A and B are shown apart, each in its own frame.
Chain A
Amino acid sequence: MGLTFRDETFRDDFTFTNSPAGIRRFPFPFAEDHYRYSVNIEPHKPGPKGSVVEFPFDIDEHYVSEMRERAMVLEADPLRCQALPHMMTAQWEMLDLLMTSLARDYPDLFTLHRDGAQWHWINRPLGIDQTFTFGDASTLPFGPMEYIGRQVQGDFTIQDQRDNQLWLDAGILTSPSDWSLDFNLGMNFTEWHAPVPLAHEAGVFERALKFLLNLQTGNPVRRLNWGLTINPRLDTSPETYHKWGHDRATVTAENVGKKVHLRVELQALFRLPKSNAILFSIRTYLISLEQLVTVPNWGRRLPRVLGSLPPEVVEYKSLSRYRDTVLAYLANYDDGVPTSPGRDPD
């Protein structure tokens, strides 16, 4: 595996950065030069070796530091992890899926021994060695969703399915792109997507919901979502808006390359067979513009995409205040040469 875990921060002094290999595997979300909103759902199948989709759940060089960041957020605000009572079966299924996947895909980092309901979980990077009884929450230090959620990168929500709707009835969310679990808990798919502009009119959510209601066991799907964020801050939640909202006013022509980050969410959806719920993983990747433009194809394409955004999208993604500064900076890297097709660096 050869993963070296970086010791870095996502707050205060913001020492987060990507290694050269980390830049190359960044999930650049734009396959063409123009912005287009689409559902862009595809099967969550194993991708190329070393890519972020080689395995269902990606563990990378930021793992240990991200888990430390998550623990700090939960310590300050326990409401970032909540589950309604009827979601307990689904919580255990989430733990089962994550432990089974990680132990299979990263055998040198994680080990799972199962003897009936007696499970033994070893997490080497975090120094955890836990024996517990599957199905008995009293044998774990946290509820099953929180226990495993504190050991896997990315936020998670679990949607219950009833009345031809999906209901956000559980989640662990410490790196949201400006949305609140506490606020959204108990909402349905249509309700929690209500703030998204344009897509409702295009029937996007109606189609996506219909598709997801029929999501089948063993056939997970994924999509990419993106935004810009100031500083490599994972916790951009409404609860802490007073700590980061004003960052947008600090972008200057001098610091834009270091401060502004492209933030990409690899979102995957898994049917949990026994509860018939859906597990939604939101795995966030960050890259500074300065690092992004080291890949010429991305440096050319990003300004073209950002320049073609409809005004509603600029507003929704909160880019208004600093988009021009970003475009001026990126203009230096767009030499007008046609971009190569697809999202890969080359």
Chain B
Amino acid sequence: MSGHLLRRVRVAEVEPVANRIKRFRLVDSGNAPLPAFSGGSHISVVMRSGDRLMRNPYSLMGSPSDTSSYEISVLNADDSRGGSRFMHGHVSVGSELEIGQPLNLFPVRKAARKHVFVAGGIGITPFMSMMDDLDALGSDFEMHYGVRSLDDGAYCNHLLSRYGSRVSIYRQDKGQLIPLAEVLSAQRLGSHMYVCGPKPMIDWALQTAKLSGWPDENVHFEQFSTPPAGKPFVVKLARSGRDILVRGHQSILEALEEHGIDAPFLCRGGACGQCETKVLACDDFIAHNDHYLTEAEKVSGRKIMICMSRIQTGSITLDL
């Protein structure tokens, strides 16, 4: 699958932009132009630490029309499984990394009359390129950005100086909350809302939109979830007859890759559907952690998204 096509890049710049958040600027190793991309796209970054292989998705934040470099922002998360900690601790100017092709699972609706963005913390990143795109097109948008404090929120000053009154910042340390119900009730028909941030915030925003009478088609979210940890279990591969142990802090996909098995993937966040795999037998109920399968498919237990989902005990046999 094309998700495996990788490009070598070099880190040209690293800048701390807030507490625990660094911005990395990446250029092609051979200084070739990088592919153009659309607002809301992300890339997966491959990190090699000893014999460990990690791949994390990060939103592209620079201007989509600038193909000389890509910019990503990385939060050194408390619950980091290693990827963002590696980026913070071991990647500096001159480091080489590999990245995949840009992929957009969070596109703006070009025909929308107005775009209402709701961001929490590091969830600001996909909106950076979207706003750049929309600003160039002269499209109508507003941004509501919730941060813990000004020291914790990346790009607050940049956003205010570039977009002025189109950006509202809400500081948790001052007790400020995004007045989302009011924001949504003030929008014209044909407006679209987009939310990105921690899961509780996304759930709250989706619920608020529903209670405000917004149609589902006008509400969009992106959640970069990492595969939840759990207990170790065994994956049996029906086609090759191999048994692979999935450790507690690994996803099935990561365990397969560690053993040199080529499995399909793209987003690694349970959203794109590329890694959908048939389940032939299973000792346990599957903990489905993806946003892709329908409820009926999840209940059937016949399909699993191997980038995100796992079982608690025993073994699962896959059509791989």
Contacts and interface: CB of A to CB of B under 8 A. Distances in A.
B273 to A, nearest CB: 6
A65 interface: no
A302 to B, nearest CB: 34
B101 A276 contact: no
A163 interface: yes
Contact of B5 (A162, A210, A219, A273): A219
A210 B274 CA distance: 8
Contacts of B186: none
Contact of A273 (B36, B137, B266, B273): B36
A273 B2 contact: no
Nearest to B103: A216
Contact of A217 (B3, B101, B266, B272): B101
Interface residues of B, number: 25
B274 A214 contact: yes
Nearest to B137: A89
A276 B107 contact: yes
Contacts of A160: 110-111
Interface residues of A, number: 20
Nearest to B5: A219
Nearest to A210: B273
A84 B111 contact: yes
Interface in B240-291: 266, 272-274
B103 A214 contact: yes
Contacts of B2: 216, 219
A11 B109 CA distance: 42
A274 interface: yes
B272 A273 contact: no
Contact of B38 (A84, A210, A218, A273): A273
Interface string A253-276: 000000000000000000001111
Contacts of B274: 214
A274 B37 contact: yes
A161 B109 CA distance: 9
Nearest to A276: B38
B64 interface: yes
A104 interface: no
B130 to A, nearest CB: 11
A115 B110 CA distance: 29
A213 to B, nearest CB: 8
B46 to A, nearest CB: 16
A84 B109 CA distance: 13
A213 B271 CA distance: 12
A129 B268 CA distance: 48
Contacts of B41: 276
Interface in B214-243: 217
A85 B272 CA distance: 28
Interface string A137-165: 00000000000000000000000111100
B5 to A, nearest CB: 7
Given A219-B5, A273-B38, A214 B266 contact: yes
B300 to A, nearest CB: 15
B275 to A, nearest CB: 11
Contacts of A217: 35-37, 101-102
A216 to B, nearest CB: 5
A275 B37 contact: no
Contacts of B37: 217, 273-274
Contacts of A218: 5, 35, 101
A276 B65 contact: no
Interface of A: 84-87, 89, 160-163, 210, 213-214, 216-219, 273-276
Given A84-B111, A163-B217, 11 more contacts: A213-B273, A214-B103, A214-B266, A214-B272, A216-B2, A216-B3, A216-B101, A217-B36, A218-B101, A273-B35, A276-B41
Nearest 7 pairs of A and B residues by beta carbon? A86-B110, A276-B38, A273-B36, A86-B111, A216-B101, A219-B2, A217-B35
6 contacts: A218-B35, A219-B101, A273-B35, A273-B37, A274-B36, A276-B41
